[in-house]
A and B are shown apart, each in its own frame.
Chain A
Amino acid sequence: INHIVHNGGLYKRPFNEAFEETPMLVAVLTYVGYGVLTLFGYLRDFLRQWKIEKCQNATEREEQKDFVPLYQDFENFYNRNLYMRIRDSWNRPICSVPGAKVDMMERVSHDYNWTFTYTGRVIKDIINMGSYNYLGFAQKAGTCQEAAAKVLSQYGAGVCSTRQEMGNLDKHEELEKLVARFLGVESAMAYGMGFATNSMNIPALVGKGCLILSDELNHASLVLGARLSGATIRIFKHNNMQSLEKLLKDAIVHGQPRTRRPWKKILILVEGIYSMEGSIVRLPEVIALKKKYKSYLYLDEAHSIGALGPSGRGVVEYFGLSPEDVDVMMGTFTKSFGAAGGYIGGKKELIDYLRTYSHSAVYATSLSPPVVEQIITSMKCIMGEDGTTVGKARVQQLAENTRYFRRRLKEMGFIIYGNEDSPVVPLMLYMPAKIGAFGREMLKRNIGVVVVGFPATPIIESRARFCLSAAHTKEMLDTALKEISEVGDLLQLKYSRHRLVPLLDRPFDETTYEETED
């Protein structure tokens, strides 16, 4: 393998990311399947329209039939004809803490998923491959739980105010100092909801006359925040540094569209780990571009904080870079810390500005005290400040689990997307019937997985997404892998046609889609 470095030696470790191309036969058969379901969808809509069949979905009232139709677009057609058939794989009610194993309430449907009834039985000890429990802090016993219980008896559960009014507890100040120390930034601020952190703070940072360059596959919270801000949004291809550089060059050279004035601010929005693809952002190259073209970087580490890096400090530590290069470091406490909420870290002037001007600080209720204590205890555990090596052990266990699981799945012959080191593992299913079949078969074998279909992914690229956890032992992973292999043989999911060579350090453009060793 000739390992020619094209980007100036920015990467200190190999960057192995691969997205195998869809096999042609599989793509054709997927379209055939969708075609058949669409025809039957038209037939059922016709029967519902002419009252031959009972209509159980939402329709307009009789008086509104002459108005603009509400339910005729493709989203609603997909919803009532395709989504309803496989709806039992989602919204499954669980009745225990979502750790490595979870209990689920069994439900059946007698009218093909329009209504569900509970049988009353609880399915116990399902191996949980769907929760974002990367470091295993979703526990109901342990130091975090005891500390949170103590704080609950001391402060109560509700705060009943916003941060700017009466909701600024000393616990919040302690948390923010700890988060700033954890990330290596000057100052940080914590909010009650991760989605709201993005959607309410991006409008405070940019406005009209600014330019936002956002990745193709950014999360809905980033897209919503960008749209609410009123800035101009331009999209670059997923993780493609040539596309980003071209957009930056055009922005600097041509300026704003009509007036040709220079942009007030250029903000690049990227995520640490993209949860639908399992890919990691090319952070060294993004930072090099940002410095060259003098723009700002907003990094959303929702899935990568706690999960990447030798001591769990996120994607900045994973690449060995300095946190001062990233202007706004955002993350959530939901995934690796077992709590809820989000934070933004950066320079002191930035955070002081956000304390006054962010919509979340002014109007949203602040974090609840037991949740804050859970975050504080888990963060201290990861940093090693509680006197044990539990945190370091968990981070290492997660890295081992990730490598082992991905290697075994690739050997079995499944198509797996994403980077070798990301704990989010998407396994491609492609055909619509296999989405429902995979979810149901895995539940029969006592493994809970999350399957994802159309609106969240492109229509033919449906997938099953496994989220690994430090709480998974090797035996659990082996059981899960055995069952996945069995279901893969039953449903014929082992599509991978040839052994892939890991992607070289070459620029990622349209011609280098995959490297193969034939």
Chain B
Amino acid sequence: MDIKSMKNYLYWLYCQFELVTCSYLMEPWEKLLFYTFNISMLVMVLYIAYIFVPVHISTAFHFFFHLFGNHQENTVSIVK
């Protein structure tokens, strides 16, 4: 019975979304337009996050690591 209450809960969440964004009041073609716009925006944001977030995190990591004075092993230090 957990699946049923989970489905009811998800349906209730969907109803709340409809009420807050007023898509409860829209005609079907307006709803289609609204959901298409929202879902496409969401998919784009997730895709960009998937591509760029690892690169950004590793760049930031290297920047801070270098900033706090830790010399990396493969840098050539000038020895007089």
Question: Does A32 contact B21, Cβ atoms closer than 8 Å?
Answer: yes
Residues facing B in A25-73 (CB within 8 A) are 29, 32-34, 36-37, 40, 43
A432 and B25 in contact, given A36-B34, A490-B15 (Cβ under 8 angstroms): yes
Question: Does A32 contact B20, Cβ atoms closer than 8 Å?
Answer: yes
A33 and B15 in contact, given A40-B30, A85-B25, A432-B25 (Cβ under 8 angstroms): no
Picked from B12, B25, B27, B30, the residue with its CB within 8 Å of the CB of A433 is: B25
Residue B26 lies at the interface, judged by CB distance under 8 Å to chain A: yes
Q: How far is the CA of A33 from the CA of B24 in the complex (A)?
A: 11
What residues on A are CB-neighbors of B22 within 8 Å?
Answer: 33-34, 36-37, 431-433
Least CB separation from A111: chain B residue:
B27
Picked from B12, B15, B21, B27, the residue with its CB within 8 Å of the CB of A36 is: B21
How many A-B contacts at CB < 8 Å in the complex?
Answer: 44
Number of interface residues of B (CB under 8 A): 15
Residue A439 lies at the interface, judged by CB distance under 8 Å to chain B: no
Q: How does the 8 Å CB contact mask read for A424-445 relative to B, with 1 for contact and 0 for none?
A: 0000000111101100000000
Question: Does A434 contact B19, Cβ atoms closer than 8 Å?
Answer: yes
CB distance from A26 to the nearest CB of B (A): 10
Least CB separation from B26: chain A residue:
A40
What is the predominant secondary structure among interface residues of chain B facing chain A?
helix
What is the predominant secondary structure among interface residues of chain A facing chain B?
helix
A112 and B27 in contact, given A36-B34, A490-B15 (Cβ under 8 angstroms): yes
CB distance from B57 to the nearest CB of A (A): 31
Question: Does A431 contact B27, Cβ atoms closer than 8 Å?
Answer: no
Q: Which of B12, B22, B27, B34 has the most CB of A within 10 A?
A: B22
Residue A516 lies at the interface, judged by CB distance under 8 Å to chain B: no
A436 and B15 in contact, given A36-B34, A40-B30 (Cβ under 8 angstroms): no
What residues on B are CB-neighbors of A85 within 8 Å?
Answer: 25-26
Q: How far is the CA of A29 from the CA of B22 in the complex (A)?
A: 10
CB distance from B32 to the nearest CB of A (A): 12
Q: Which of B12, B21, B23, B30 has the most CB of A within 10 A?
A: B21
What residues on B are CB-neighbors of A220 within 8 Å?
Answer: none
Question: Does A492 contact B18, Cβ atoms closer than 8 Å?
Answer: no
Residue A491 lies at the interface, judged by CB distance under 8 Å to chain B: yes
What residues on B are CB-neighbors of A33 within 8 Å?
Answer: 20-22
Residue A180 lies at the interface, judged by CB distance under 8 Å to chain B: no
What residues on B are CB-neighbors of A437 within 8 Å?
Answer: 19, 24
What residues on B are CB-neighbors of A37 within 8 Å?
Answer: 22, 25
What residues on A are CB-neighbors of B20 within 8 Å?
Answer: 29, 32-33, 431, 433
Interface residues of chain A, those whose CB is within 8 Å of chain B, are: 29, 32-34, 36-37, 40, 43, 85-86, 112, 431-434, 436-437, 490-492
Interface residues of chain B, those whose CB is within 8 Å of chain A, are: 12, 15-16, 18-27, 30, 34
Would you mind naming 30 contact pairs between A and B with Cβ atoms under 8 Å apart? A29-B20, A32-B20, A32-B21, A33-B20, A33-B22, A34-B22, A36-B21, A36-B22, A36-B23, A37-B22, A40-B26, A40-B34, A85-B25, A85-B26, A112-B27, A432-B22, A432-B25, A433-B19, A433-B20, A433-B21, A433-B22, A433-B23, A433-B24, A434-B19, A436-B24, A436-B25, A437-B24, A490-B15, A491-B19, A492-B16
With A433-B20, A433-B22, A491-B19 known, 15 other A-B pairs at CB within 8 A are: A32-B21, A33-B20, A33-B21, A36-B21, A37-B22, A40-B34, A431-B20, A432-B22, A433-B18, A433-B24, A436-B25, A437-B24, A490-B12, A492-B16, A492-B19
